[in-house]
Structure 1
């Protein structure tokens, strides 16, 4: 059944889905037109919202880019690469490859979203070198693991509200990760997705006549041989001692942060952890820098598109459009259904504001008063926003850019499969938020 469902979805998306940059331009026009039509804003006011907000997410953009870059550098370090090669050897047919890449991507994305995106894409390429399998579904399966990121260790919403001084602290206080990431309802959703997602992807595997394969020779990576050292500077570039003199103290700082000072996780801590693990595992500055150059290529889409999404977010927030949209859906909610409608509204808003932290800033002023008025658990509502954000990333091609860049595909190649994943995971997550 899923095989039959995915076939027309793939054809539909291949024909009509534009490039992610075109997608953000269209969203800009739609958001501006909606602000004028629905909120009765003047064109000049909307223009000012957009222009003034265009650079509002620069600090957050840098954090997000660092998550991607540090995750890439760690995932491409020699020990992690060798681990991926060994894991790929466990798959002996196409179906096993689909299941395996999904599980690895889910596990890596739960640890850190940037790490998961990169590990999933690199593992998909490694599997394609060893197994004859539909390359589109393989990469779509690698991306599908991203669905759990906001319920994992690097989730922006739970980490934000667990940080002292966050913008809603006076209203809800500081909420620890034991009530969000490690709550029973959130862990329950994660466990079910770990079971369901590999099965969903496996059942979408096309017949051989409908499959699209890739020549393994096209995925071959040239060996990077150590150059002969002729200058003192090259000796420093290849110095393990120099790298470890900085890398190991960085890890010791984190040990002090977690063990002696009882510190918690936030985006800066996650970036610090992955950066210094990468420094140590790459062993030499040259190896790290070569990985960095590759990582930056995958972040190109983030650099150019994030300002546009900041502009869209400014239109949505300052015009009142986000509040109107969220409020309209929340008006349908009762005490029992508020998490469900929060999840749906977050999924819709995420199409226009594909940023977990940014989306929480947009929706918290609407969701928190509604939760307090209806007597609904605040951590559950916060995680409903988080899961709504993660859910429609399967449809929003923005976060697929790093995966596609590594795999050498375009958004239209995988989004048909992602559309099926979106429909089925939406049912799972909504049920978990409502009844677990």
Structure 2
């Protein structure tokens, strides 16, 4: 069928479906024979993005080792350098005294937060979490697979809540949070992984105000993409610490962020923002396993950025590299799938991912088909706890790392496989 004849698959006859399936299968076999070897599995910065931070490798310069009165080459300072904390406090809408600068990975900070709570309890806990046999955690879906891996490892029953256009169903979140065994929730509030959605002010307000059954309920607020815009404007970062304190729940949010997709993924700086008492609790526990973070690297970042505006300018350079890849992805999906009514996809204004929703029950087949055609995708279901998407519908696309021409080629293959799987499902529905 030519593109001008496209119409929803549900309107096609058995003969038309068979013709289309034959055409798509032949095209698929031709592509599979090429052995493409393309990869859209994870949201990694491209080499061009990493090149933007190359100057970091020469910082701090020889002889530049003092941050105020602190010799960054020595032990100590678990809070991190005040100069770097001041820069990112502005970006995260917190006060510098509410922010710690740590080593490279925010995932490590999140792991520590939960493990510390399990072993020692939080500042609001009647006992360590490990003593509660029935532990549960709210997971917004589709969501970040590495978040879910942490709570699964520590034995939490994970409770999925679907994301809508403005965020999760807050009636359901509040219902679940009323259970004393529910200890917390994962959230990526800005340009979430993988949908690219941003939580509305109303949702943020309800999260800050809601009553919970557990006195030590925590929201791990992963601001991984707070400055990762695909448009000229930067998003407004909600002041959740102040909102929660005003609502009488000052310790509710543990906010994390990092420079992993800003400078070097393996050599960045992670941040933890919380009320001062929570930071002291974290520092007391973290101080047993470390004598301080890599302050040399932190000073390098201070010298590299200069101030918060330096970060924003740097991220606009990132935008110039990756925004065309997102635009090309949208164009490829629309070009192949438009009119058939077999898929939808997000059009994010920031972040690192596109969430592709395919015909129910076909996501696993699409991922398998794309693998056979030489394009690797994240496993279907990865954006759900335990890797189980109940509708087998969602596929996470990560277009940032490959060169632009490879992104276009890979997305075209994904779209072809999406349509082929949908046609075969439609044929099965008509009794073929």
Same topology, TM > 0.5:
no
TM-score by length of 2: 0.26
TM-score by length of 1: 0.26
More helix by share: 1
More strand by share: 2
